[in-house]
Structure formats: C-alpha cells, structure tokens
Amino acid sequence: MLEMQDAMNSRVNQAWRQADNAWYRAIWTECAEMLDHYGWKWWKHQQPDLEQVQLELVDIMHFAMSDYLLQDADNDEVAARIAAELADPRQCQDIRVAIEVMAQTTIAQKSMHFSDFANIMALIDMDFDALYRTYVGKNVLNFFRQDHGYKDGSYIKIWADREDNEHLVEVLGNLDSTSPSFRDDVYQGLSNRYPG
C-alpha cells in the first residue's frame, strides 16, 4: 500500500516529497466528509452510509500514509510504525466523537495517529482485508481520474446520476481481491462504466 501511495503521489507531482503539502489538512477535512456520510444532524432523519464512510476513511489513509512516508523514507519502518499504531486503537465508543477526536488530534499535531484510525475501523466493523480491498480500489480510481483529466478539470465525476465513488463500490463488490489481476480488473470495471 505504501508503494502504491508513493506511485500515486508521484503521478500527481514527481516532486511530491518536496512540495510541502499539508497532509494533515486533507485528513481533517476528510473527517468532516466522513461525519456527513455517517450523519450528525439532529433536525432531520439521516441513515449512515457505511460504504461512503469506509471510502472517506480510506481517503484519510492515503493522506496519512503520505505524511508518514515523508517522516521516514524506509517503507518497512513506516509499515511497522503503522502496524503498531493500528494494534493499539483509541477506545472511544461514539463514532461521531471518535471522528472529531481524530480531526482534533490531527490539527493539533499536524499529523494523524493510526490509533485514532483503528478506533474508527473498529466502530464501523472494517477489518484489514476490507481496508486493503477498498484502499486498492480507491488508489486505482485515483489513477483512473488522473488518466481521464482530473488534474485539468475535464474528468466527469458523476456517471449515470451517481458519483464515481458509488460506481467503485459496485465494481469492488463484483471482483475477487485475491486475484493477481485485481488492480487491473478494478481499472477495467471503471473503464466499462465511464462515459468519457
């Protein structure tokens, strides 16, 4: 996953390690999007959209791994650090509060801690296999977006009245993540649906 993240970052900007991107800012704004998908408005009926919550959590994973890759260039050491933090989740039982805690801690430290991330994973019953499957899917979608004009603004994000993330969820639901061609299969599945 770290190698895939480095490749995606390099696709967007070859000099991403020198770009001084505010990864922490991307993380806390994704927290707000995740909270919106889960629902927090007491004045109207809301149903948690757990598939979209998972996608937002995976978006956060992209930015957090990028930040950690800047802190240590050794992928094995970064992977060990992430694994240790994931193994020690924070113990907050209210998902809305857990999301806010992750956002607050990220803003205060200008970096996310994976113990907060693991807490949210547990609260939405997302295991590591689901995280990996969704991460690969979202990574492929990000490449797909770049290949189809995301950077220059020509990419079409709404297909058949649904956002590309929704199509991704359906594509992932029809594929075997253990297949050696999983990444290519995701890309092809998106290509088959894309109107551009």
Q: What confidence score (pLDDT) does residue 134 get?
A: 93
Report residue 196's pLDDT band, with 50, 70 and 90 as the boundaries: confident
Which pLDDT tens digit goes with each residue over 6-42?
Answer: 999 999 999 999 999 999 999 999 999 999 999 999 9
59 within 8 A of 138, measured Cβ to Cβ: yes
Report residue 72's pLDDT band, with 50, 70 and 90 as the boundaries: confident
123 within 8 A of 93, measured Cβ to Cβ: yes
Which pLDDT tens digit goes with each residue over 174-195?
Answer: 999 899 999 999 999 999 999 8
Please name every residue paired with 163 in a beta bridge, in sequence order, or none if there are none.
158
Residue 163 has φ and ψ, to the nearest 5°, of -70, 150
Q: Give me the mean pLDDT over the 78-99 stretch.
A: 96
Q: Give me the mean pLDDT over the 55-82 stretch.
A: 95
Q: What confidence score (pLDDT) does residue 73 get?
A: 81
What does the DSSP assignment read for 112-128?
A: --HHHHHHHHHHTT--H
How buried is 116 (Cβ within 10 angstroms: 0-12 exposed, 13-18 middle, 19+ buried)?
Answer: buried
Report residue 168's pLDDT band, with 50, 70 and 90 as the boundaries: very high
What does pTM read for this prediction? 0.89
Q: What confidence score (pLDDT) does residue 3 get?
A: 94
CATH superfamily of the 1-126 domain: Type II deoxyuridine triphosphatase (1.10.4010.10)
Which pLDDT tens digit goes with each residue over 94-146?
Answer: 999 999 999 999 999 999 999 999 999 999 999 999 999 999 999 999 999 99
